[in-house]
Amino acid sequence: AVLVLNFGILAFLKYFDFAARSVHSLLGAVGLDIAMPDFKLVLPLGISFYTFQTMGYVIDVYRGKFRAAKNPAKFALFASFFPQIVQGPISFYSDLSGKLYEGHDISFSNIKQGVLLITWGFFKKLVIADRLVNTVLTIPAEYEKHSGTVILITALFYAVQLYADFSGGIDISRGVSQLFGIDLAENFRRPYFSRNISEYWHRWHITLGAWLREYLFYPIAMSKLFQKFGRSLKKHFGMKISKVLPVSIASLITFLVVGIWHGADWKYVGFGMWNGLIIMVSTLIEDKYPVWKSKLHIKDTNPLFILFQMVRTFLIVLVGYYFDIAPGFLAAVNMMWRSITDFHISELADPAIFDALGVSSASLILVAIAVLALLVCSIVQECSGRTLREMICSKGFWAEAGVFLLLFWVVAIFGVYGPGTNPAEFVYMQF
């Protein structure tokens, strides 16, 4: 009952207007013009994040993983811990509660590390993301006026802007928590280095993926209905299909939920379907990969093959991003088509492209330098297996102070803020 009530509230607030519009359009297609109620609902800030977090707690209590909290003030602290309430990360009660309830002394080490992470987050948000956000918002809204070249560049801008915006916001949230001595869960692990789409979703928005696996994917895949379905498949199609197909369908359902969670629009259904189908097909043909690689004499450790896998995965992810930025589902498909059929490499050398994109050459150069710095830092972390903060802090106080001052002045000088600017909210605040 608690799950139905809370998810019902979330569904009503997020999806009633969308459902009403869809029903009205469907009835209109058969000649019925029936007015649907329009409540003009206002979505509470962060409702998806704290609903998922608290319902995870309820499910864990029901499963007997731990006893229900007896102190309402402590539970309220877990449910509304302010650094994460706007855009995550989504925490498990078993991970966060102990950190919140134990005593914390003011620590200079925590303050240093927290401030460093906060400044790094502002670097991503103000220097990179907010310099690209205007292009990402304006071009898709009038994509018919632009060439496929401009549309493709806009999609690439969005890939950079979304990552810098969301990961930067999470860095700020985790940094603020660090000031209080509380380590929030990691939410990003260099997702654009992923070699396949499944790995990407294990590196991107890690806490949402963990929540969905624990409370949606596994319950569906291990349900009596799916087990019965698997046994039926085994009789008619053999062991392989009986194991792979139910899991693939459970994965597809999970990604449909991911798509719908992102927004009340058919384009987000398309986003979920695209990612779900790619993972479903990949799972079904997974046993063919070793055979193909053997025939082509390709080794998994080959650097060129690894680079190919990363580029291939990024392009698959990029297709999904079209659904994010487009005004609607059909617009996303049209934008993809134009990106392929109306792409002209000569436009890249034409200065007029800066006017079309609505961004100056100076801003693009600055973004390119900032992204290159971000890329170098990511490569170092990927190769070393250590976070930047660990590496910097191991060098002593003056290294920490030097990096902080460098980041601070870069943000202060090159960040997008202040009079005459249009501050952009964090992308994931709307979810």
Strand partners, 188: 204
Residue among 181, 244, 251 at smallest CA distance from 216:
251
In tens, the pLDDT along 253-266 reads: 898 888 888 777 88
Least Cα distance to 159 among 387, 374, 413 occurs for 374
Please classify residue 172 by burial: count the beta carbons closer than 10 Å to its beta carbon, then call 0-12 exposed, 13-18 middle and 19+ buried: buried
How much of the chain, in percent, has pLDDT values that exceed 70? 91
Residue-level pLDDT at 299: 85
Residues contacting 426, CB < 8 A, separation 6+: 86, 87, 125, 165, 166, 169
Alpha-carbon dihedral 114, 115, 117, 118, rounded to 10 degrees: 110
- Identify the pLDDT of residue 81: 84
The pLDDT, as a whole number, for residue 102 is 81
> Alpha-carbon distance 395 to 295, whole Å?
48
What spatial distance separates the first Cα and last Cα of the chain, rounded to whole Å? 24
Separation of CA 46 from chain center: 15
Higher pLDDT, 283 or 319: 319
Which pLDDT value is given to residue 159? 95
Q: What is the total residue count of the chain?
A: 431
pLDDT tens, residue by residue, 204-235: 989 989 999 999 888 988 888 888 888 888 77
Per the listing, tokens 């916001």 go with 169
Mean pLDDT computed over every residue of the chain: 85
* More reliable by pLDDT, 303 or 39: 303
Phi, psi for 287 (deg, rounded to 5):
-75, -10
- pLDDT range class, residue 64, cuts 50, 70, 90: confident
Residue from 156, 208, 88 nearest 315 by CA: 156
- Determine the Cα–Cα distance for residues 190 and 200; give it in Å rounded to an integer: 9
Amino acid 155: pLDDT:
94
pLDDT value at position 312? Answer: 94
- In angstroms, the CA 322 to CA 158 distance is 9
Cα–Cα nearest to 208, from 90, 97, 95? 90
CB atoms under 10 Å from CB of 40, counted, come to 5
Say if residues 347 and 149 touch (Cβ distance below 8 Å).
Answer: yes
Residue 293's Cβ-count burial label (10 Å; 0-12, 13-18, 19+) is middle
Long-range contacts for 195-202 (Cβ within 8 Å, ≥24 apart)? 195/306, 195/309, 195/310, 195/313, 196/282, 196/309, 196/313, 197/275, 197/278, 197/279, 197/282, 197/313, 197/316, 197/317, 198/279, 198/282, 199/313, 200/313, 200/317, 201/275, 201/279
User: What's the Cα-to-Cα distance from 335 to each of 149, 158, 159, 218, 315, rounded to whole Å?
Assistant: 10, 14, 15, 35, 15
**pLDDT band at residue 326 using 50, 70 and 90 as cut-offs:** very high
pLDDT of 24 reads 60
